[in-house]
Amino acid sequence: MIRLTRLNGSEMYLNADLIATVESHHDTVLTLVDGKTYVVSNTADEVVDAITAYRATVIATAERLMDADVDADENEEQPPGRLLVLRPGGNGSC
């Protein structure tokens, strides 16, 4: 979720994965994948930076969980949570 500011000054949190487009007019217009629009006072660049930071955090967290999983396998212990990463196999099987 990213924090944005509405035109009236109130803050809102929006699921960054649902944003389809970010348009820069007089104000910034966000269109979600379901067609709903939001107008915010943040600049388009600020919105894109917030989305990028959010996604980087998700990736970093996934990597930490994967590292913890590897460490746990080496120590024969199970971590509190497990992350399953699906990658296409190089041998033609998925």
The total number of structural domains that make up the chain: 1
Distances (CA, A) of 87 to 28, 59, 73: 36, 15, 20
Decide which of 88 and 25 is more confident.
25
E strand or H helix at 3: strand 2-5
Q: Is the pLDDT of residue 17 over 60?
A: yes
Name the residue with tokens 């217009």: 29
Mean pLDDT confidence for 63-76:
67
Residues 6+ apart with CB under 8 A from 88: 94
Handedness of CA 77, 82, 83, 86 (dihedral sign): positive
- Is 9 within the bounds of a domain? yes
- In terms of residue numbers, what domain contains 27? 2-75
- Is 20 within the bounds of a domain? yes
CATH of the domain at 18: 2.40.50
Mean pLDDT confidence for 4-30:
96
Query: What does the pLDDT read at residue 94?
Result: 46
- Is 90 within the bounds of a domain? no
Predicted structure pTM score: 0.69
Distance CA 68, CA 40 (A): 39
